[in-house]
Amino acid sequence: MSGSAEFPRVGIGYDSHRFAAPQARRRLLLGGVEVPHERGLDGHSDADVLAHAITDAILGACGGGDIGTLFSPDEERWRDADSIELLAAAVERVGARVLNVDATVICEQPKLGPHRAAIEARLGAALGCPVSIKATTNEGMGWIGRGEGIAAIAVAMVARR
């Protein structure tokens, strides 16, 4: 972890991805869980918008940059990468102990209620801490409201290992 700031520390992360074209046949992954939907998200890795927001929150708390700096979309080795593995690698790199994560997924579809427990369990197992996931819509406003993609925002509290 960079700097000599007091711990614990808090970071915030945000990410968004548009839906891929139907012919791309991408899976929709949120927090490492495949969520049934006719379209997945477009991105260089697996486009797990929730895992990316959480990764940035943890990196931010530690002064560790952002996910794009660590895992550049210009590098072919990260194409279709598993975002849960990237999350774990980022946590290892900054030497953090994640105390908890709170995140919100913003989308019109799919409905996340039926998948929330599985997503929280998957992320909690990957991070070794409590994870709380919420979902909301954008009330039909903007690109999210038009169903063009999904965004996520996350807050993470970290301590030294």
pLDDT beneath 50: ranges in the chain: none
Q: Kindly give the residue spans of alpha helices, DSSP state H, lying in the chain.
A: 49-61, 67-70, 83-94, 116-127, 142-145
Nearest to 152 by CA among 99, 98, 112: 112
pLDDT at 3: 55
pLDDT at 79: 83
Kind of pairing between the strands at 131-136 and 96-106: parallel
pLDDT at 1: 61
Q: For residues 130 and 124, what is the distance between their CA atoms, to the nearest angstrom?
A: 6
pTM strictly above 0.85: yes
pLDDT at 2: 58
Instruction: State the architecture of 9-160 in CATH terms.
Output: 2-Layer Sandwich (3.30)
Nearest to 57 by CA among 93, 97, 10, 21: 10
pLDDT at 4: 57
Please state the domain extents for the chain: 9-160
Nearest to 55 by CA among 100, 8, 14: 14
pLDDT at 34: 97
Q: For residues 3 and 62, what is the distance between their CA atoms, to the nearest angstrom?
A: 8
pLDDT at 6: 82
For residue 100, with 0-12 CB atoms within 10 Å meaning exposed, 13-18 middle and 19 or more buried, which class applies? middle
